[in-house]
Amino acid sequence: MTGGNRGIGRAIAEAFLAQGDKVAVTTRSGGAPEGALEIKADITDPADIEAAFAVAEAAHGPIEILVANAGITADTLLLRMSDEDWSSVIDTNLTGSFRLAKRAAKSMLRLKRGRIIFISSVVGLLGSPGQVNYAASKAGLVGMARSMARELGSRSITTNVVAPGYVETDMTAVLSDEQKEGIRAQIPLGRYARPEEVAATVTWLAAPEAGYVTGAVIPVDGGLGMGH
């Protein structure tokens, strides 16, 4: 999985570790949870991705579950958004996830089973002012996942999307108190998610019990998206 050192990714890595799975975690800055195989990789660099898979598969065998979690924001209003703001977010969140899934699918097709899980966002479905680039990248994951679900389904490989709402992590820590309060007021459950609440949906999707779920977008958003 990618970005397993902080926030949602760390909670996902810890949840898999707690159930006894072998977990390889990529990070740029280090700090993977104890028990995980830590691999330095930047997912915007195709060579890093290839090398990360080689290290992970040498240690743990063929990848059975991919969780593409690493992601960034570069928020600003449309007319101020530079090409660099746009392309850095698309390259990390969407193109990075494409590269990871393509490489993981190679192993999974050989195994004739697998789970690909993308971490999208409620913002990809509802939109959000100041997040044209981020919303586009997260919406793109949905079309990508559903196309992969159709391509890979006959080999028992499922491809799904988890769409969290607002979660307490470094990514949302940058919001002002006023912004946070404005968002909270729109969430039926009246609070942000804990990273572990997103992780529980990811481990469920990866489990044998979810073997007939593919091409799905599963919200973990306190009701914010209401089925979108």
- Looking at the Cβ atoms of 19 and 179, the one nearer to ligand NDP is 179
Contact between 3 and ligand NDP per CB under 6 A: yes
- Residue from 7, 33, 140, 222 touching ligand NDP (CB under 6 A): that is 7
- Residue from 164, 219, 222, 225 touching ligand NDP (CB under 6 A): that is 164
Q: Per CB under 6 A, which of residues 34..73 are in contact with ligand NDP? A: 42-44, 69-72
- Residue from 90, 171, 175, 213 touching ligand NDP (CB under 6 A): that is 171
134 is catalytic: yes
Contact between 133 and ligand NDP per CB under 6 A: no
- Lay out the site mask for ligand NDP across 83-112 (x = CB under 6 A, - = otherwise): ---------x--------------------
Give the 3-state DSSP-derived string for the chain, with helices as H, strands as E and coil as C.
CECCCCHHHHHHHHHHHHCCCCCEEEECCCCCCCCCEEEECCCCCHHHHHHHHHHHHHHHCCCCEEEECCCCCCCCCHHHCCHHHHHHHHHHHHHHHHHHHHHHHHHHHHHCCEEEEEECCHHHHHCCCCCHHHHHHHHHHHHHHHHHHHHHHHHCEEEEEEEECCECCHHHHCCCHHHHHHHHHHCCCCCCECHHHHHHHHHHHHCHHHCCCCCCEEEECCCCCCCC
Residues lying near ligand NDP in the complex (CB under 6 A) are found at 2-3, 5-9, 26-29, 42-44, 69-72, 92, 119, 121, 164, 166-167, 169-172
